[in-house]
A and B are shown apart, each in its own frame.
Chain A
Amino acid sequence: QSAEDLKRRGLAGETLQGFLVARDASASARVDAINAERRQVYEQRAAQEGVDVGTIGQIYAREIIEASPPGTWYQSSSGQWVQK
């Protein structure tokens, strides 16, 4: 399934570092695969802009959460899970 499916069904949530976190064990394999692809995009952008990967992840995180469907779970900066 796509990241959006997982988020819509609450099986995975977003973090402020720009990666998915499984909220149900059944999704963890798919989440790992998605995060691996995301990491590739982040590393590529980081190299292009000469910026550290962590910062790229943080910028993408905001855009991802904004673009996520309503009801998506994401981790607030204090670490609690919040629902959009």
Chain B
Amino acid sequence: ARATLDPRAPRLRATLTLAPLDFAPSELQPGDLTPLLSDLANVSGRLQAGVAVDWAAGHPKTDGRVELNDLQFDYGEGVRVSGLSGLLAFDSLWPLQAPPPQELTAARVEAGIPMTELTAAVGVTTPPESELPRLQIVSASAQAFGGRLTLEQGLIDLEANREEAILGLESIDVAELLAVLDLPDVEATGRISGEIPLRLEGDTVTIGGARLAAEAPGTLRLTSDAAKEALAAGGASVELMMQALEDFQYETLALTLDKPAEGTTLLTLKLLGQNPEVLEGQPFDVNVRLETDLAPLLLALSEALALTDEAFGRLWRLRR
């Protein structure tokens, strides 16, 4: 530590540089330093921090630097992060402010979905009337499902218990995605792109107009007897369509999803294509519009988002 007192002007400048902390399983763990980080397990890698305090005219100005070097850790049951590096420069510690963009990278993150080559530009701000900081994810991207996942306008607001982001999909391999979602009776190939504006407030998930479309022709196999029974009353053409969908070669596929906080969720699916076995490849132009005022497919989604909220909630919970 180094402190200088300037006799002429009542001002004290002190800089404190922490010796680098090398974490290793069964040796130093962050949980030993602060209970706030006790949820991180099997931590390895180096962290270096430095704080500078500058008293001028009575009010202290504090800033700090935290350098992460190839950190690896597990969090909760499902999350494993490795190769996390980056520099966080805080221009104020109380309240916590680290203006974006602060660049972070990670080699791999397992959170139900395997993601690699992650980069993110983040920022930490603590709005005046609030005690808990807000994490902004200006932009982030990762390789996943044979394509790329991106994230824009990400915000984790602990005070308001609200998270939102625009999730982008770039040529995602549908077969790999379905493997993780493991939807019964649905198989597909092809690549889809698009975006999903997401928001999680408390337990309520909202999707503000997701748009996804296949980039090129592919195949779709829908073999759900339940669907067939449910649509049995639809008449001959519907029955033909269901037969075609058992091994459908689609030219175009487009999906939209809108789920307000309350009320009706609307899913639309547009398919153009044919099944060589059905009427010698008779083309079908299918437009499905599905309304439900429940959100069946969003349980996994809200859990994933809740995980991040809880994760950051614990990491940043300042004692009241």
Contacts and interface: CB of A to CB of B under 8 A. Distances in A.
Contacts of A52: 203-205, 295, 298-299, 301-302
Contacts, number: 38
Contacts of B295: 51-52, 54-55
Given A17-B202, A17-B203, A17-B204, A54 B299 contact: no
Contacts of B204: 17, 52, 54-55
B202 A51 contact: no
A42 B202 CA distance: 13
Interface residues of A, number: 13
Contacts of B299: 46-47, 50-53
A46 B301 CA distance: 13
A49 B294 CA distance: 10
Interface residues of B, number: 14
Interface in A26-83: 42, 46-47, 49-55, 57-58
Contacts of B301: 52
Nearest to A39: B203
B310 interface: no
A64 B262 CA distance: 18
A57 B203 CA distance: 9
A67 B263 CA distance: 23
Contact of B294 (A42, A47, A51): A51
Ranked 7 nearest A-B pairs via Cβ: A54-B204, A54-B203, A53-B203, A52-B298, A52-B295, A52-B302, A50-B296
